[in-house]
Structure 1
Amino acid sequence: MTVFIDPPLWPAHGTLWSHLVSDRSIDELQVFARAAGLPPRSFDRDHYDVPASERERLVAAGAVPVSANELTRRLIASGLRIRAKDR
């Protein structure tokens, strides 16, 4: 199982946020997220929004840190990407 996490770059709600994705399946992503105790409300169609305070814990749990560009490339290549206009 491999899931990827990008740097916390996106501001909202008084913190910065990362994205957690799988390049294999949404099921794989959901299994990792449940095991890591992420709340279901943080799932956004093809990724989880993760506050900066959780990033290192998720890396320790097995998430692979990648750049934001690399994360986007992997998600698009996987065919799992849901574009904003398709939401």
Structure 2
Amino acid sequence: MLYVDPPAWPARGRLWSHLISDVSYDELHAFAEMLGVPRRGFDRDHYDVPAARVQVAVWLGARLVSSREIVGLLRGTGLRRPKHLVRRG
């Protein structure tokens, strides 16, 4: 299943949401591609999605949940990748 939180994160003059999968990164990448979100929007364990794409994501099947639920779902499925554990380079 795919999940998206309400747009609340300001950056580059827009508000952004987080898009996640509770199944796999492959499912997440495929959905983001279908949604028209570029791969550069992927950040460790989620995609950053501009507010203008959130309703389309919901229409395509993502479930709208709170930001707190996003983190809980990632942790519960083992797909959470905290910044301090991700290697750079």
TM-score normalised by length of structure 1: 0.93
8 A Cα contact 2:14 2:51, kept in partner = yes
Counterpart in 1 of 2:7? Answer: 8
Q: Following TM superposition, where does structure 1 have runs of at least 4 consecutive aligned residues deviating by more than 4 angstroms? A: none
Whole-angstrom distance in 1 between the partners of 2:37 and 2:11: 18
Counterpart in 1 of 2:61? Answer: 62
Counterpart in 2 of 1:27? Answer: 26
Structure 2 residue identity aligned to 1:80: L
Specify every segment of 5 or more residues in structure 2 that has no aligned partner in the other structure, as ranges: none
Q: Count matched residues.
A: 86
Q: SS of 1:33's equivalent?
A: helix
Q: SS of 2:6's equivalent?
A: coil
Q: Give percent identity, aligned residues only.
A: 50
How much does 1:27 deviate? 0.7
